[in-house]
A and B are shown apart, each in its own frame.
Chain A
Amino acid sequence: MSKDIAFSHMVVEVSDLDKSEKFYRDVIGLDLLGHNMVADNRPNALLAMNTRQRLLLVEVPKVPPYPASGGSIHHGWLLTIDQFAQARDRLEAAGYASGIDPRQTFRAVGEYNMDIIDPDGNRFQIQAFGEEATDILPSGAGVVSCGNIADHAVGDVVRNGKGRFFLSRNEDGYLAISAWCTHKNGVTVWQKESWHFYCPFHGAKYDCTGTYFGRMGCAPMRLHPVDIDEAGNISVDTNRFFARSKHDPAHVVPAKPGAKFSTAGLELVKAAVPATTSSEG
């Protein structure tokens, strides 16, 4: 089918058009365009979002029940952060418990959500992203000791929870990869079974160099500088984050005593206040 196909509108069955129209107009915040604007004999109302998308409400004698397992079926509205604050006020004024996100555990930092059920039991998520969704978030762990080069084999990926990074030992040496997803500040996990980093918030995947692969076009995961002293002891500076447009082997620190991180071609994106050395591995 043509690549020009796009989402146009959602048709929602309602048992009381007046009531639902008020809900979607006054509580959700859609614009009412008018009634009976479509070829449909049933009473209907067309509402607009600011994009081309529309919502069509059609009144039916009986809205069918949800399947018993339908608890996770929902649809999400995207709002700007200002619209989100206004929506919270509208929801509160209309007597809907807002400010509570029953699914907070699924949210990345800076992702805001309210869940709301329409008069016929359809669940909607109201969603907005604040600027902190893309802020660089220092862990506060400072410079972290990560053992000795003798401790790691090629292919090892060691998670440092406190420092929010992974120490990845590939065949050329070490990379300290910030665990923050470059999509929206979810925290990634290393999935050894598929040999990639995975962000369970919206599904981003990155290979063992931190290079994104998939359809969202995310930047590579950021790097922290790795330093190896003359005795082969490894430290990672979590105060400094370097962004990159693609993986470059020049940023891999060779697994040799005295090897240093090269910042050539990298952009320092956040320098947190230097902290004292911590020994968590």
Chain B
Amino acid sequence: MAYVESLSHSGICVHDLKEAESFYCGVLGAAVHSRVNFKTQDALRGRSVHTSLMLSDYLFAIMLSEDWMNIPPLDQLRGENRIRHAFCVPKDKFAQILQSLRNHKVALEGPVTHPETGPFGESIYFRDPTGNFLEVVWRRDESASYNEVLPLGHGGVG
């Protein structure tokens, strides 16, 4: 057993909040959880400008970058630029995801098949509109039982 249950939230810096929100919600199916620093109390507390999104059981914030970030060339579809977020779908939904991304004209790399010794099956790689690297994977361990990811009630964006 590890000494950590889960990642409760994470941040993705973006150049355009509206554009990012419509990508993560419209293409990946996230939902807006809250908009932070559009309210007086948030500004007074010195919070960063961000929109918190929920994607299934995961909370992540798209955070407005105050200055231009160093973005690798957009024709590079696989990479990190420090961090990459990877989302999983059941194996039998993988083709559907692939099609959905294509329908949204999202440039993709893959599918790439992972070694059978690891938990990952196949991945596709793409970027968000700012250029953050993303991945969708199906996992060989999808029927394994792990601790449940606790709902948002157990965590929040600090």
Residue in A47, A72, A193 with the greatest tally of chain B CB atoms within 10 Å: A72
Option from A38, A58, A67, A87 in Cβ contact (under 8 Å) with B3: A87
Q: Does A274 contact B (CB under 8 A)?
A: no
Instruction: Assess whether B146 is in contact with A52, with CB atoms less than 8 Å apart.
Output: yes
Known: A12-B82, A50-B2, A78-B5. A4 touches B158 (CB 8 A): no
- Write the chain B residue with the least CB distance to A87: B3
Q: Does A214 contact B (CB under 8 A)?
A: yes
Hey, which bits of chain A sit against chain B, CB under 8 A? 1-13, 28-31, 33-34, 36-39, 46-56, 58, 60, 63-70, 72-80, 83, 86-87, 90, 103, 105-108, 111, 113, 120, 122, 125, 127, 129, 183-184, 189, 191, 193-194, 198, 200-203, 214-218
Q: Does B8 contact A (CB under 8 A)?
A: yes
The B22-81 residues at the A interface (CB cut-off 8 A) are 27-29, 31, 33-34, 36, 39-42, 45-48, 50, 52, 54-58, 60, 63, 65-70, 80-81
**A87 to B10 Cα, complex, angstroms:** 19
Residues of A within 8 A of B13 (CB): 67, 70, 73
Instruction: Assess whether B65 is in contact with A37, with CB atoms less than 8 Å apart.
Output: no
Instruction: Assess whether A70 is in contact with B29, with CB atoms less than 8 Å apart.
Output: no
Hey, which bits of chain B sit against chain A, CB under 8 A? 1-11, 13, 27-29, 31, 33-34, 36, 39-42, 45-48, 50, 52, 54-58, 60, 63, 65-70, 80-90, 93, 96-97, 100-101, 112-115, 117-120, 123, 133, 135-137, 139, 141, 144, 146-150, 152-158
Instruction: Assess whether A76 is in contact with B158, with CB atoms less than 8 Å apart.
Output: yes
Instruction: Assess whether B4 is in contact with A50, with CB atoms less than 8 Å apart.
Output: yes
Residues of B within 8 A of A216 (CB): 33, 152-153
Total A-B residue pairs with C-beta atoms closer than 8 Å? Answer: 267
Instruction: Assess whether B155 is in contact with A127, with CB atoms less than 8 Å apart.
Output: yes
**A46 to B115 Cα, complex, angstroms:** 13
Known: A28-B4, A75-B11, A183-B153. A1 touches B97 (CB 8 A): yes
Cβ of B102 to closest chain A Cβ, rounded Å: 12
Residues of B within 8 A of A67 (CB): 13, 65-70
Residues of B within 8 A of A193 (CB): 40
Known: A1-B29, A49-B4, A51-B147. A7 touches B56 (CB 8 A): yes
Known: A4-B90, A38-B120, A77-B7. A10 touches B84 (CB 8 A): yes
Residues of A within 8 A of B33 (CB): 203, 214-216
Residues of B within 8 A of A9 (CB): 86, 137
Instruction: Assess whether B5 is in contact with A11, with CB atoms less than 8 Å apart.
Output: no
Instruction: Assess whether B67 is in contact with A69, with CB atoms less than 8 Å apart.
Output: yes
Known: A122-B83, A202-B156. A37 touches B136 (CB 8 A): no
**A64 to B112 Cα, complex, angstroms:** 25
**A53 to B55 Cα, complex, angstroms:** 14
In the complex, given contacts A10-B7, A46-B118, A74-B10, what are 6 additional A-B residue pairs having Cβ atoms less than 8 angstroms apart? Answer: A6-B89, A10-B84, A13-B81, A78-B154, A78-B155, A214-B34
Residues of B within 8 A of A191 (CB): 39-41
Instruction: Assess whether A50 is in contact with B5, with CB atoms less than 8 Å apart.
Output: yes
Cβ of A88 to closest chain B Cβ, rounded Å: 11
Option from B11, B31, B41, B114 in Cβ contact (under 8 Å) with A215: B31
Option from A79, A129, A198 in Cβ contact (under 8 Å) with B4: A79
